[in-house]
Chain A
Amino acid sequence: MKVVSFSIFKGGTGKTTSSVNTAAALVNKGKKVLLVDLDQQASATRYLNLEPDQSPNLYDVFTGTKSASLAIRHTKYNIDVLASHVLLAAIEEALEPGDEFKLLEILNPLKPSYDFILIDSPPGKAMLAFNGLAAADLIVIPASAERMAVDGVADLINHVQRIMWNKYALTHQELRILFTMYRATTSHSPAIVANARKIWRENILTVKIPHSTIFSRSYDEKTPVSILDPKHQGAIAYDVFADWLIQYENT
């Protein structure tokens, strides 16, 4: 059982796309998966065709009106979801320094029921994002293969290693970088990855998610790529990543 957090403070590099499509790929392989949508924009919730203004959701869980196990919503893709809600913004305001482990406390009783819990973290340096990091066994940093995102990776790694690991006993945590929006036919994307590999070496996953409009279509049709077009390069990439996660879980 592993908790995997998709986190980077920068926005728009593929946190939601990666968490939803990884969840779908893991379910295809017979794994029990819970997806936690920590982002108040509720993109992952919408992606899986759930209404973001309905109960139960994570707001109810954080305020204690519902227990986590009763707040889980089931989707037709067999992915279980702790859904987001606009009111999560109020939780962000209400969380105080020292509340970094709220989410971990919420997830702990659910762990025996799942093989993987995937967290779609919000962008930005704020309390909910820190909760997403603190709850994780494995932090996957989705980075688009461009300079700006690589700076974002450095920022997140610094934060985790220098602040979180210093402050809390989180030394079991591991970090991996997943390159997204990769354009193999350009010289830019491979150069960015080659440079990043000099710094972070084996922490960079060999599988790269290709740049493709299939992901926009997938979100638009509220269907993960593995169901929309299982033979598509993008679907295969997440399938390979899911295999890596399963192998990682077993070691």
Chain B
Amino acid sequence: MKAFLNASEVAKLLNIDRATVSRWIKKGIIKGAFRPENEQQWRIPLSSYEELIKYHESR
């Protein structure tokens, strides 16, 4: 089981655009996300997704 989701997976789960996910990472709304060196994809911990869904639902 993956410990991290990438931006497009999170976007799919929340039904938002992938660009929104990237923006939220840069704004610090999504915490704990990182991009390993030489890699294109964000890694978003499942636990961050938990917090994010609360944020998304409260909007």
Q: Which chain A residues have a beta carbon within 8 Å of chain B's beta carbons?
A: 62-63, 86-87, 89-91, 93-96, 99, 102
Known: A63-B46, A89-B13. A99 touches B53 (CB 8 A): no
CB pair B1 A90 closer than 8 Å: no
Q: Which of A63, A93, A96, A102 has the most CB of B within 10 A?
A: A93
Cross-chain contact A62 with B1 (CB below 8 angstroms)? yes
A-B contact pairs, 15 of them (CB 8 A): A62-B1, A63-B47, A86-B53, A87-B49, A89-B13, A90-B5, A90-B13, A90-B49, A93-B5, A93-B9, A93-B12, A94-B1, A95-B1, A95-B2, A96-B2
The interface on chain B, measured as residues whose beta carbon lies within 8 A of the other chain's beta carbons, has a size of 12
The answer to whether B13 touches A96 (Cβ under 8 A) is no
- With beta carbons under 8 angstroms apart, the residue of A62, A87, A99 that contacts B50 is A87
Question: Do most interface residues of chain A lie in helix, strand or loop, or is the interface mixed?
Answer: helix
Number of A-B contacts (CB under 8 A): 30
Question: Min CB distance, B23 to chain A, in Å?
Answer: 20
Residues of A within 8 A of B50 (CB): 87, 90
Asked if A94 contacts B2 (CB within 8 A), the reply is: yes
Q: How far is the CA of A91 from the CA of B3 in the complex (A)?
A: 10
A99 and B1 within 8 A (CB): yes
Q: A63-B47, A87-B50, A96-B2 are in contact. List 14 more A-B contacts (CB 8 A).
A: A62-B1, A86-B53, A87-B53, A90-B5, A90-B46, A93-B2, A93-B9, A93-B13, A94-B1, A94-B2, A94-B3, A94-B46, A95-B2, A96-B1
Question: What are the 5 closest A-B residue pairs judged by CB atoms, nearest first?
Answer: A94-B2, A93-B9, A94-B1, A90-B49, A99-B1
Q: How far is the CA of A152 from the CA of B2 in the complex (A)?
A: 30
**DSSP class of B's interface residues: helix, strand, loop or mixed?**
helix
Interface residues of B in 5-45 (CB under 8 A from A): 5, 9, 12-13
CA gap between A96 and B3 in the complex, in Å: 11
Please give, as numbers and ranges, the residues of chain A lying within 8 Å of B3 by CB-CB distance: 94
Closest beta carbon of chain A to B10's beta carbon, Å: 8
Q: Name the B residues within 8 Å of A90 (CB-CB).
A: 5, 13, 46, 49-50
The answer to whether B9 and A102 touch across the interface, beta carbons within 8 angstroms, is no
With both chains docked as a complex, state the minimum distance between the C-beta of A124 and any C-beta of chain B, in angstroms.
Answer: 14
Q: Give A59's nearest chain B residue, CB to CB.
A: B50
Contacts of B47 in A (CB 8 A): 63
Q: How far is the CB of A159 from chain B (nearest CB, A)?
A: 22
Residues of B within 8 A of A89 (CB): 13
User: Which residues from chain A contact B53 at a C-beta distance below 8 Å?
Assistant: 86-87
Chain A residues with CB under 8 Å of B2's CB are 93-96
